[in-house]
Chain A
Amino acid sequence: DTGVSQDPRHKITKRGQNVTFRCDPISEHNRLYWYRQTLGQGPEFLTYFQNEAQLEKSRLLSDRFSAERPKGSFSTLEIQRTEQGDSAMYLCASSLSNEQYFGPGTRLTVT
């Protein structure tokens, strides 16, 4: 499978715990995006990397959220001190030009 992959697909955690998600983009894609999608809503932009540089961050990305793309390949999204409001699907997408290809997402449930 040469598409965007995300790991894990599901994560259940207790409030206050830290979680980390991984995204592996399509190999030749230099741009990588993170989105959050809650039930009944469209994806909301969180952040965007071009190669290893983080170029845009949404106001949704509070100081509890951090994203990295250390070598311009895979990316991680970490949420510290999770809250119940963080429960959502976290989507990763990659692109070479303007066409974003999405991964299957990581569904986070904070209990």
Chain B
Amino acid sequence: AQKVTQAQTEISVVEKEDVTLDCVYETRDTTYYLFWYKQPPSGELVFLIRRNSFDEQNEISGRYSWNFQKSTSSFNFTITASQVVDSAVYFCALEDNNNDMRFGAGTRLTVKP
């Protein structure tokens, strides 16, 4: 069975701090996809990144970076120099071969000015 765990329920930082959101997953599939989504207060889920299980290369996009470690089944997300607009709930998700996507419970990030 698939499972995604986001152990951090809430994180609060002050603007300009770096913050890492943890994601640990479980799956028996050898081929799968990992995702991060942002859900701002408006409610709409915003796609951030997709990573397939064969690509362990870390990725950087502006202030966002992702660290995929297959050995520890983790796909962590770091925001550098956080801004107030980064305040949202962030979800990690895993999609298996059957296109069944499982989301973690989310981490609520609050960035204070």
Contact = CB atoms under 8 A, between A and B. Distances in A.
Nearest to A6: B44
Given A31-B99, A56-B99, A98-B95, A41 B105 contact: yes
B44 A42 contact: no
A103 B45 CA distance: 8
A103 B106 contact: no
A42 B106 contact: yes
Given A42-B91, A43-B91, A98-B95, A104 B103 contact: no
Contacts of B44: 102-105
A42 B37 CA distance: 10
Interface of A: 31, 33, 40-45, 48, 55-56, 89, 91, 93, 98-105
B33 interface: yes
Given A56-B98, A98-B95, A104 B105 contact: no
A93 B91 CA distance: 15
Interface of B: 4, 33, 35, 37, 42-47, 50, 52, 91, 93, 95, 98-106
A31 B99 CA distance: 10
A33 B93 CA distance: 14
Contacts of B99: 31, 48, 55-56, 98
Contacts of A100: 35, 47, 101
B33 A98 contact: yes
A110 B93 CA distance: 28
Nearest to A50: B99
Nearest to B101: A45
